[in-house]
Every structure is written in structure tokens, then in C-alpha cells.
Structure 1
């Protein structure tokens, strides 16, 4: 009995430590209709700056470089002309300038992970493999994945995709469905650098099957670095309107209205990439 209580206490301490690391003190909190809580966290206090390499980092509010033919103002105008796509939490408020919206992590979210330290990271089933550099990327276990990939190879400094929004039915908690843009380089065996962004329905991570905006990154083939959204340090957000990991609405209907999101990722300098949607 004593050993069991000791284990539970230790496990509970680790969960609380994770929650304290992820849930920074907000200046405002917004209850979303889907049950999420969105915290408006000062930009300089976000989890990205827990990373040692970002200590004393000067926040750049606008990219210093844009793809040819695009600039910040034209991207804003293009976004405004598109049919309105919102996130559910927008119905109950917005985050003030100088803050970013962060989906609050709950104890239940962390406890769904197979390992507390692996919360927010890809599980073994979703890790990819690349037999050699001349063929398309494939998944490790073909028996548990069904996927379609359109890809191209070469030296690129960014990519853009317009993705239809759907809400597929998820039958098992550990199943997921997604549509994404995926930019990668290096070897899948050791030094893969990957940036992913799109939408996903993933009960294991979020606790429901809502269609949610997500990002993912890794710099070492998914071994130790990287995570979903803002669940680890390294990814800097400056936008005060978009919450990574939050539900997107509305979604497309079969034989009905169609809705899309456009995602643009481009290289700003030798070690910085920018994401716009």
C-alpha cells in the first residue's frame, strides 16, 4: 500500500510540474464553447522562451523576408477576403495585443499520454521512415496507416497549401486523421528536420474528435526534439488571434458548403522559418 501511494504521489508531482511549465500565468482567460480554456499569455512569457537557446531572445514581430510577390499587408488582405473561418473560442472573446492565445493543458490531457515526458510528442505509430532519398516518404507500420501523399523533391525555401477542412469520424481514441503540409530535410535515421502544419482530429492528444489547427516540428527525426503546437519550448508565436490546438469552425459538408485554410511556410534566414495561415 505504501509503495502504491508513493508512486501515485510521485506521478502526481510530475503532472503538476508539466502543468506549471505549460500553463503560463495569463492576463485573461476565455472559455470556449467546446470546453477548452484559452489563456491570453504575454508574448514574452510563452513556453518557447524556456529553451536555453532563446534566453534573452529579441522577439521579431514581422518576418524580415517574404516570398516573392508577397508581403505582410498583402497576406492580411488575402486572409480578410476569404470566407470566414474561425476558432470556436472567438465566440466568447479575444486576446489583447501583446499576448498570444494558448490552449490550456488539463491534467486529463497529460494522463492520456503513455509517458508524462512524451506528452505532446508523436507516438511510435506516427513516426515516419525514409528508406532512401530517392523515393517518397512512407510510414513505419503500413498496417495501421492509410495515407495519400503528393510530394516533390528539390531545394526549396518554403511551400504553400490550401487545405479543405473536414471532421472525419474517429472510431478509436488512439486513431487520428489529418491533412497537412510537410516540409522536411535531412535523414530520417538521425538528423531529420521537419515542419508540419494543418488540421487534425486526434482524441488521444485533445480528448475529443474536433477538427483542430496544429503544428509540429522536429530537428532530430522525432527522437528528442519537437512537439505539437506549443507543448514544448522552441516555437515562437506572435499572432494574438490564432490558438494552436484549438477547434476550427465551420468545416466542410459532403454535398454541402466547402471551407478551406491556406498555410504558408517559408525560410526567413539560415535558422528561422515563418508560418502564416
Structure 2
């Protein structure tokens, strides 16, 4: 009966749109309260034990590395690259969103961060060009899902931690599905853009080879970032935590000495943003440890 009460509480809280962290925690606590064979104080122990794992250190490091790369001008370079590649297609800005999500997946590792960034940068321009808000929001939301699969995905790291699966192998397994998701969405976006008549006049505005080359050149250091992660993890050069720590060093080096856009003020803002994102993720992990103990 305790399991039934906990499950019902979980479903009801989800239907009430309670944040997932509190949904997991409250349903787990209800299980322990109704389960007389297990002392309730063990809930506090599970909350603390849920985050006491060395592999989980990779999460805050990758989050920080992603924010540092964004603060280093990576986003603007990726937008120029995406525009050079697909800016001549129907629904140009929507296509840019699809390509940008695949590129940002190799840097930020967070679909939420990607969606927030694209909404802030691309949505106003989409409105200026006459894109429907529903279409724009759908494209941005759907394209950001590929970010959750392409390494270094925070979700894959957490899955590897919970399921005791190699993070390096998960990263390898996520590359092709993530790219296929992006390409499929580009095909659907092309079809919808032609039907709605978005940016059909840009078909003749294809970028020259030199412009594409320069866009690639300016984005080279960012493009090397996911390649570096895959190679070092796949060949056992770094463990996930070591790779994440080096990713932070790499991001600081690129931002300070290559792009020269990472200032002290930006660095402080980045630390605050990374801490906020990490707090949310760790809260979910900690709360999830309660029902995990009940299911074990």
C-alpha cells in the first residue's frame, strides 16, 4: 500500500504542475511515512547521499564550461556559421535555430540553456520577418531537444551516474541520434516554411564559399570542443570528471586568449549563472534519491 500511496501522490503532483524536484521528494516522503518498517529519518540520509558521488562532479564543471563558452562569444560565432550554412533556405531563421541547437549541444549540454538563448536572440528577429509566434516557439523548443542528446549532455551524465553506465559510451551513442533529430526537424521546418511563405526570397542569397570558410574558421575553437571531449573520454585519456574540469580550463583559455571577449565582469556573471543552474539540477538529483531508495 505504501508504494501505491507514493505513486498516486506522484501522479497527482505531476497533474498539478508541481516542479519535478518537489514531486519526487514529496511522493518519496509519503512512501516512507506510510511504510512503518522503515524509519522516517532515513529520508534526510538519502537527501544527502544522493549527491555524494564523485562522478556527479562532472555536472557543475560542464555547466560552468558551457556558460564560459557562451560568454566568450561562441553563440554569435555559431549564429554566423549557421546562417552561412542554411541562411538561404526557406524559413531561414528557423533553419538557423535547428543548426544552432546542434552546434550548441556540443558546448552547453543543456536544452534549457539553449532554448533560453535562442528565444532571447532569434525570436525578436523572427517576429520582424513575420514569423508566427507559435511556429517560432515550436521550432526553438523542438530544436533544443537535440541539445539534450549531443555530448556533452548533462542528461547523459546524470543517466550514466544513475544507471552505472559509461559516460564516454553514452556520449558516443548520442552523436548520430542528435544529428538525425536536427536534420529531421530541418526537413519538417523547410516544408512548413514553404507552406507559410517564410523567407522564400532568400533562396538567391546563398553565402559564398569564402564566407562559409570564414564562418567555420571563426568557430573552429568551439567546434573542437566536443571533438576533444569524445576523443579523450573514448580513449580513456580522461575520466568524465577530469574531462569536465579541463573543459573549464579550455573555455577560459579560448575566451581570454583566443577570442579575447571573456572579461572579469562576464566571468563573475558566468559563475553566478552556473551556480543557479547547478543548484536546480542537484536539487532534482537529491530529491530523486528518496523514491530511488523505495524502488531499490
TM-score by length of 2: 0.23
Select the structure of larger CA radius of gyration. Answer: 2
More helix by share: 2
TM-score by length of 1: 0.24
Tell which has more relative contact order, 1 or 2 (C-alpha 8 A, sep 6+): 2
